[in-house]
Chains A and B, each alone.
Chain A
């Protein structure tokens, strides 16, 4: 009986999650498209560029930027145990805490990069977008590093785009290297070349 009850409750919950999905979805494509996301964000009272939307997308493991499929929606909302906008709003602080846990953050961080790859076979992201993304995901934790890195990325001319290896390198750099003295940076270890250059640039700046 108990089993049945929870089963029933679960199916009820799923029904409400689906209902919520369809209230934002585009009727012809069956997806929540950028327009749907916009109205979803305004109901949630969160800006669509807010990092928490990226966290939601991560929780849903959304594949394509600007779109949620029904499967993704279900995956995310069930995990958050939220079937209404109100519950979802309440779940956000916990979601944020979960993402900020070191064990999950790296997964979220690489997900953020992949999420921005919009084209088939695209492997790297332009500097402009990378700067925005860096600020979004690392800005609150590594403010000074991100500020300098963004400043450097915008002035350097060696690279037009950033790939996953470099992206991962940025995060490791923030977590491992003492900043701003850079005392434990060893250019002979395998840091991506762009970080060698960044460090040179920083040191020149510091005189």
Chain B
């Protein structure tokens, strides 16, 4: 017919016939009752498709020639369009179809089982009719209804569930929708429907969930609910501003608890416990971020900045961290494997990094290390050196060179003592054994101290050593630090009890006096030894007032030492042990005046560092305004300490006075470097 120019007739005949046929079909579909409706629709659709296939084959010639040249719709597409217009868009089918589909989905959401295969076929039909049919006749409505559904459901949930349960439900719904798409919807619908669930179930309730009483984020953090936290992280990640919300709550909670921790008067009594608490807190959150927050960098940063914030709220943190190390290196690490030692030291270094006043830590560290080395109390040389290597990496050579100097002094002293005894062995006979540690001034935190009067046999020995030492090291000066030494004494008490007493040099000087006297008054002891009175008091207190260690007896009996007291050897002294260590009553933490003194020394040490930084900066910049110089100095020094702007200003003024800098004559905010 096409060849005979009847193409037009053939085409319009096809349209007419097919339209009529489809209208008939629509009627039977409309007539289908209830559940059979979809099945009927599906069956007729399959029939139509088969018919269409055949019609296209038969009319292939028209399809290839007449249709393109006359710009008509191809047969197959025509068939689909006619199906769309006469069946799907028939007034009685269109809304019924949509309602049926949505109703089935609703049923499935409430737990009923539906015929997914049929659903898939019908949806496929809509998609075959063109994406606009799928979107307009189904998807748009589907999304609206879903939003309503989840809005209502989330409202119910949030009223009756705790945060953890809610999140579980939300997660399940989300997975269901994703599954639904994969089973019978267009895969392009996935992001659209998940967006709906995310918006209705998470974004709208985000703040309420996070702050839910007794079950919100803070409770999850306190109770280490890794699973719930992980769920929250994964769900919140999907919505705008979700993760910052979690992070902010975590940060403020962390800061608050941290602040309580570092200002807790109870905790401050025990520095070791204090630092242990900080470490536990850090471990706790490291674990949470690792297990629940997929090691998110921004969370790690928030953790670090929170620690930095509250550790520095307590000005004693540097001292306490050093005391913690001291305790570990004295005894805490005994019997601990090398790896575990490293782990502990690494953790300490991490806390050290949070400190703003690193120089204060260094000051205390030096003091504590000195005490450890001199009393021979360090558990492991390897651990000591390992920590110094770590400090070197953090603070550079300048600081650790002093510490390393201390180790060198210890080693050299050993050799010196060997040399001394090798040279004098014959001459010394059975006189007491002297061990001298020669400390280089500057490397050690020595304080100028008055040398007390040593017992005659000791001072003779000390003189011998002095001449031996100066004989090999000309040009040096030796001064005895009697406040830092220790002594071992053999003592026999009233009923013949023999003990070896481990005492400080001061205590030794006091006890030796009792070799030639039975009773000594405080005044007499003070005169004979010339020990500074505060030290003498502490020394006598530890000899006479500590139960189990009271090798001396005091009259009158009391806890404190008075100027009028008298002292005797305690003949009734008894101890289970042969060796008795008599400690000195010392506060392990610094006392208030000591603390202030250390603080003052730190401030003094900072002055030249600030000035050096100012000069360095001005030397290269020549002219710089006030605010920039403050900023640059602060930046240059922040690895050591947080420079106080007021102090920087004072240093600038001091440099102006000493003609290193001058103020610009017209703009007083500008400083000029004077070469």
Contact = CB atoms under 8 A, between A and B. Distances in A.
B657 A124 contact: yes
Interface string A149-181: 000000000000001011011001000000000
A192 B657 CA distance: 12
Interface in A185-201: 188-190, 192-193, 196
Interface residues of B, number: 14
Contacts of B646: 193, 196
Nearest to A197: B646
A123 interface: yes
Contacts of B671: 190
A188 B669 CA distance: 10
Interface in A54-93: none
Nearest to A161: B657
B668 interface: yes
B669 A189 contact: yes
A188 B627 contact: yes
B653 interface: yes
B663 interface: yes
B649 interface: yes
B626 A165 contact: no
Contact of A193 (B625, B649, B663, B668): B649
A192 B668 CA distance: 10
Contacts of A123: 657
A172 B657 contact: no
A165 B656 contact: yes
A189 to B, nearest CB: 6
B653 A193 contact: yes
B657 A193 contact: no
Contacts of B625: 190
Interface in B608-638: 625-627
Contacts of A196: 646, 649
Nearest to B651: A193
A192 B646 CA distance: 10
Between A163, A165, A188, the greatest number of chain B beta carbons within 10 A of the residue's beta carbon is seen for A165
A72 B649 CA distance: 39
B653 A172 contact: no
Contact of A189 (B626, B652, B653, B657): B626
B666 to A, nearest CB: 11
A190 B672 CA distance: 13
B107 interface: no
B650 interface: yes
Interface in B214-247: none
Contacts of B657: 123-124, 163, 165
A188 B626 CA distance: 8
Contacts of A189: 626, 668-669
B610 to A, nearest CB: 13
Interface residues of A, number: 14
Contacts of B663: 165, 168, 190
Nearest to B661: A165
Contacts of B669: 189-190
A120 B671 CA distance: 26
Contacts of A168: 663
Contacts of A190: 625-626, 649, 652, 663, 668-669, 671
A190 B661 CA distance: 13
Interface in B60-108: none
Contacts of A188: 626-627
Given A165-B663, A188-B627, A189-B626, A172 B650 contact: no
A165 to B, nearest CB: 5
A165 B653 contact: yes
Between B649, B650, B668, the greatest number of chain A beta carbons within 10 A of the residue's beta carbon is seen for B668
Contacts of B627: 188
Contacts of A192: 649, 653
Nearest to A190: B626
A163 B663 CA distance: 13
A192 B669 CA distance: 10
B665 to A, nearest CB: 10
Contacts of B656: 163, 165
B600 to A, nearest CB: 15
Contacts of A169: 668
Between B626, B652, B657, the greatest number of chain A beta carbons within 10 A of the residue's beta carbon is seen for B657
B107 to A, nearest CB: 69
A33 B236 CA distance: 88
A172 B671 CA distance: 16
Nearest to B663: A165
A189 B652 CA distance: 13
Nearest to A123: B657
A196 B644 CA distance: 14
Contacts of B650: 193
A123 B659 CA distance: 11
Contacts of B653: 163, 165-166, 192-193
Interface in A11-61: none
Contacts of B649: 190, 192-193, 196
A196 B650 CA distance: 11
A104 B656 CA distance: 24
A101 B457 CA distance: 83
Contacts of B626: 188-190
Contacts of A193: 646, 649-650, 653
A201 to B, nearest CB: 14
B648 to A, nearest CB: 10
A163 B662 CA distance: 13
A44 B668 CA distance: 40
A120 to B, nearest CB: 16
A46 B663 CA distance: 37
A80 B382 CA distance: 84
Between A124, A189, A190, A196, the greatest number of chain B beta carbons within 10 A of the residue's beta carbon is seen for A190
B242 to A, nearest CB: 39
A169 B656 CA distance: 13
Given A166-B653, A192-B653, A193-B649, 10 more contacts: A123-B657, A163-B656, A163-B657, A165-B653, A168-B663, A169-B668, A189-B669, A190-B625, A190-B652, A190-B663
**3 tightest A-B contacts by CB?**
A190-B626, A190-B669, A193-B649
15 contacts: A163-B653, A165-B653, A165-B663, A166-B653, A168-B663, A172-B668, A189-B668, A190-B625, A190-B649, A190-B652, A190-B668, A190-B671, A192-B649, A193-B650, A193-B653
Interface of B: 625-627, 646, 649-650, 652-653, 656-657, 663, 668-669, 671
